[in-house]
Amino acid sequence: MSVSNGEVTYIAPRPSLFCAKLLRALDASEGRRRKRARNTTPDAIGMAVKRSLLHRAIEEDPEAEAFEPWLYRQVMATEAGRGAVRAMALDLVQEWKMVVASDSFREWLDHGAPSEDAES
């Protein structure tokens, strides 16, 4: 998928590659979640749903143009927990748009999503 910002045309990565990089970024979120003093069970559930979507996207490897419809089908195929899957799918759509539009976000992911909160 080619995207132009008016000056530069950027070819978006395959969604499977994007999702693999995003899995690494979730490690930082997990580190932050474990450091919180409050009950983070809902956060853990959301992260598990997101990880599941990411793993499925890596396995099924949809084309860039088909990634958003693929996410929609994942939501519609879910009976129980549809709200959680929908929320995480919408989150992924926003991150997908960000990786296409933002050089800095793309570079951060390309460098392994470094964070002081990531667990070693």
Give the model's confidence band at 30: pLDDT under 50 very low, under 70 low, under 90 confident, else very high.
low
Range of 88's domain? 14-110
Q: Is residue 77 part of a domain?
A: yes
Tally of domains within the chain:
1
Identify the DSSP state of 24.
H
List Cα–Cα distances, 42 to 39, 79, 102, in angstroms: 8, 19, 29
Q: Is residue 3 part of a domain?
A: no
Task: Round to the nearest angstrom and report the end-to-end CA distance of the chain.
Answer: 34
Q: Is residue 120 part of a domain?
A: no
Give the model's confidence band at 51: pLDDT under 50 very low, under 70 low, under 90 confident, else very high.
very high
Rounded-to-integer distance, Cα 65 and Cα 90, Å: 16
More confident residue, 70 or 31: 70
Percentage of the chain lying above the pLDDT 70 cut: 75
Q: Is residue 91 part of a domain?
A: yes
More confident residue, 95 or 42: 95
| pLDDT (0 to 100) of residue 103 | 87
Q: Is residue 9 part of a domain?
A: no
Q: Is residue 119 part of a domain?
A: no
Give the mean model confidence (pLDDT) for residues 62-90.
92
Q: Is residue 99 part of a domain?
A: yes
pLDDT in tens, 90-112: 999 999 999 888 888 888 888 88
Q: Is residue 47 part of a domain?
A: yes
pLDDT at 5 over 70: no
Rounded-to-integer distance, Cα 63 and Cα 75, Å: 18
The interaxial angle of helices 15-35 and 41-60, nearest 10 deg, is 160
| pLDDT (0 to 100) of residue 12 | 73
